Chain A
Amino acid sequence: MRERIKQEFDDEDDDLIGSSESGEPSISGSETDEKVHLRDILNSAENNSSQGLSQDEVDLLLAAVTNADSGAGLLEISPELERPADISGADKKPLFINPLRERAERLLLRPRSSNQEIRELLDSLDQEAQAKATEAPDLIESSENFANKQLTALGGGAEVEPIKMELQEARNELLGTTSDAQDEFDRVAQEAANHVAKNNLEDEPVPSVVLDLDKFVAEEKVPAKGDSEPAESEAYKLFKELHGIDEVDEQPIANPEIIPIDPEMSDLDLGGFDTSKEVESPVDGTKVEIPLRSQKNVGIFNRLGTEAKRIYTDLTFKSQGRREINRGQKMLEKSEDKAYALNKDLAKSDDKIEELKDKLTNIDEMLGKFGEGLKIKEKRAIYKSRQDLDKKIKSEEKTKESLALKLEIEETNKVKLQEGIESAMGRLDLAINERIKPYKEEVAKLEINRGSLVEEKENFEAIVGDFESRLAGLRDQMANLDEVNLPVKAKKSFQAVLNRKIKDIESALKISQKNISKLEDNIVRVNGRLNKEDARLGKWEGIRGDLKETAQKKEEKAREEISRGFVPRERAESAEEIEDVREFSAGDYLDKWNSISKNDSMLLDKKLIMASKGELTLKKLEGIIKTTRFRGLSERQLKKKIKEKTDLLRAHFGIH
């Protein structure tokens, strides 16, 4: 059916074309007037080069030129200018060298102002549209009339129903398409007019690309890509251009990176090779490693005997961690205890020797007094006792010498140990003192900066909250976009633009949240590291405190020694004993003298001496002793005995 209608209209078109062709006035029929008119047009256009040809003038010229081709136009071919006959097989069209035609062609080719061009184009479109506007309804009406004629001829039977339906569908389709085309044309025409007005294209040369309205009739292409944004249609591009939505407004989303806080450093590895030694723990007997810190120390440790190794291991386990620095002091105390014990043994040995010597003296005295009256047997017994005593004295003196040597060695070693430890601890104390102040200053700065980070985080969270409120406001406004009086396609374009911008905003806000998270991580790391720095600072201050305390104790001890002389003390002394030692006691001195003089009759009268007037200092006592008449001893013996005993008592009481 459609084919039949189409064929009908094609025939009509041909008729129309035929009639228009035949309807045009034959130019050759009124050639003189029209030729004159054409010449006037040419003259006017050539003289006024700033003005362009009007559309009518263009049509006329075109018609004149065109009809010249067919030989029926104004611009006749001059017979003498016929194409030469020797051009075989070539185009038989005549050569157009008629000057009027040439002038017409030149004028047609001359650029006209773009404004005029567009206006004329719009006018021609408008005329065309007006002509076409009636075309479709005319077409429909004609087709309906034709269809009705045919249907009537068929007699209106049942077979005509599908034909009627098809006809109705065709009608509707044609009307719908016409309406859409009309809308589209109206829109484009308006936009073109706005474009001209906006860009003020008066008196500008026509751009090389003429406004091609066909572009705007094409369907908007739907992109087939994945997640990327849809390709922009030409309509959208013009829309953007007209509304100032161009590439400049497409803001990149700022995604700056937050600098992380440095992680903790691993512990300082100061051992180039293994300088630890596996030992048995004194606590539970398990195998543990103790640090020796240098190969030299490892070598010495390996050479030590079992007992020495045990002492060292014991010392290490009792002084771990921060107390490690106190090991030296503990070793010194052990050394002092050892020296004290040796001193005590030495004193005992001395006492013993004196005792034996007293016995020997007694024997000598007895022999001197009663030697002649004694029997031989008795004499032999006495001599034997004397020899035994001699032996014992010699043995004891050897013991004493040995003890004295040990004491001397111990004292020497102790001094060397003390000097070494004091030197090491002194350097450490100096290093800590030099660095503790800047250390504390840096930690204080860290505390302040940590506070600043927390403050920044809180401030930024508030700002982001405000942004989120604004975004919510935008979304509310977008929800009301449907009520805006805009063409559908314009609304869709706005929606697409806004959706993209909302996405960008959401991405930017995600970045904000991500950065807040990263900042929180940083703050946690700073907190952890600050706690560690507090612990480190505590360690160094603790060591410095321990070193100071050790130094103070040493000073106190030195002061005590200067005031009272050396007093070797028991580590577990009772309070009473400590008190006695601290003050010189004449009574104790006298008691001690008498205890070592039981066998040699060099006893002193304590009551008598204590009743002496004045303070009984050591010097006074020794003076009293010197002048006491001790019976049975020669002057040389007296001098020697008194000196031995007083020296012993001085050592006993720590008086030098």
Chain B
Amino acid sequence: MTQVDPKNIIDQADDLLKDINQANLKFIDKTNQINTAINQSFQAVNQLNKELEKEEFDALEEMDGQILEYLEENEK
């Protein structure tokens, strides 16, 4: 059996921990880039949707007003 070198095992352990740390950092970095882009897109669609909902609300408010005024005139 090949003689085990404790120092070599320690070096392997150090390398493995270093690789895991690097991989974690790289993964988080890449993932966070994508997550940031996704959040930006969601913010953009939220803003667009907010504007459209405001326009819809205003349109419905005006329409409701027109209908109510029409009904009021017809009663006169």
13 residue pairs from A and B, CB less than 8 Å apart: A254-B21, A261-B42, A265-B50, A268-B57, A312-B71, A413-B74, A445-B41, A446-B42, A483-B3, A494-B9, A508-B24, A522-B35, A543-B56
Q: 3 closest Cβ contacts across the A-B interface?
A: A420-B66, A431-B55, A293-B61
Q: Does A303 contact B (CB under 8 A)?
A: yes
Q: Known: A259-B32, A262-B42, A526-B38. Is A300-B65 also a contact (CB below 8 A)?
A: yes
Interface residue A399 (Cβ < 8 Å from any Cβ of B): no
Pairwise interchain contact B66-A417, C-beta atoms closer than 8 A? yes
Residue contact A254 to B57, C-beta cutoff 8 Å:
no
A322 to B28, CA, bound (A): 41
Q: Which of B6, B41, B67 contacts A315 (CB 8 A)?
A: B67
- B23 surroundings in chain A (CB, below 8 A): 460, 463-464, 467, 512
Which residues of A in the span 495-515 have a Cβ within 8 Å of any Cβ on B? 497-498, 501-502, 504-505, 508-509, 511-512, 515
Known: A463-B23, A501-B17, A515-B28. A294 touches B65 (CB 8 A): yes
**Which size bracket describes the interface of A in this complex?**
35 or more
How many residues does chain B have at the interface if contact means C-beta atoms less than 8 Å apart? 67
| A508 pairs with B31, CB closer than 8 A | no
Nearest chain A CB to B48 CB, angstrom units: 5
Determine if A578 is an interface residue (Cβ-Cβ < 8 Å): no
Whether A325 pairs with B68 at a CB distance below 8 angstroms is no
- CB pair B64–A484 under 8 Å, yes or no, is no
Cβ B45 vs Cβ A328 within 8 A: no
- With a 10 A CB-CB cut-off, give which of A268, A416, A450, A526 has the most chain B CB atoms: A268
Secondary structure dominating the interface of A? helix
B66 touches A511 (CB 8 A): no
**Interface set of A (CB-CB < 8 Å, partner B):** 243, 245, 249, 251-262, 265, 268, 270, 292-294, 296-297, 300-301, 303-305, 307-308, 311-312, 315, 324-325, 327-328, 331, 335, 409-410, 413-414, 416-417, 420-421, 423-425, 427-428, 431-432, 435, 438-439, 442-443, 445-446, 449-450, 452-453, 456, 460, 463-464, 467, 470-471, 473-474, 477-478, 480-481, 483-486, 491, 494, 497-498, 501-502, 504-505, 508-509, 511-512, 515, 519, 522, 526, 529, 533, 536, 540, 543
Which B residues fall within an 8 A CB radius of A? 1, 3-7, 9-10, 12-14, 16-25, 27-32, 34-39, 41-46, 48-75
Q: Name the distance in Å between B53's Cβ and chain A's nearest Cβ.
A: 5
* Nearest opposing residue in chain A for B36, CB measure: A259
Query: Are B62 and A420 interface neighbours, CB within 8 A?
Result: yes
Among A304, A414, A497, point to the contact of B72 (Cβ < 8 A): A304
